[in-house]
Amino acid sequence: MHLHLPSTTTGTFHFAWVIPYGIATIAMALSAWPVLRRIGARNGILFTLAAGTFLSGALGFEMIGGRYLEVMNLRAAQGGPGYAMLTTIEETLEMLGLAVLSYALLTLIQDRYGGCTFRLRARDSS
């Protein structure tokens, strides 16, 4: 048995959490602007690209999915293949955003500190 509570938001805001998270995202972007300017153009672009990619999945495709569910008159648990495709794109964009963030962080470390080195030692077998 699925409990389906009536939603007070509709359409692209079917999943109501996107509203406060969207507002928080704008606030964080505004507060991050000075930092992005200080870390240089290339690194700033990489971090912005990472955030944009992640958020296009996390917020953008979540909103598209909510609209799709309403237009098709479906529930999230029974969304069908169209909804499965939208969630796959959403999750892929989120993971791609995290991969770009990893690259951006490593690039920043390289630019600021000349890189970093990790050395792994074999365990002593005694």
Query: pLDDT tens digits for 89-98?
Result: 999 999 999 9
| pLDDT of the residue at 7 | 54
Query: pLDDT tens digits for 42-58?
Result: 999 999 999 999 999 99
Residues of the chain short of pLDDT 50, as ranges, are 1-3, 5
CA atoms within 13 A on the CB side of 87: 11
| pLDDT of the residue at 3 | 45
The percentage of the chain sitting over the pLDDT mark of 90, rounded to a whole number, equals 56
Neighbours of 67 (CB within 10 A): 16
| pLDDT of the residue at 9 | 73
Q: Which helix (H) or strand (E) holds 44?
A: helix 41-55
| Confidence (pTM) | 0.78
Number of residues in the chain: 126
Q: Which helix (H) or strand (E) holds 110?
A: helix 80-113
Domain assignments of the chain as residue spans, ordered by start: 11-113
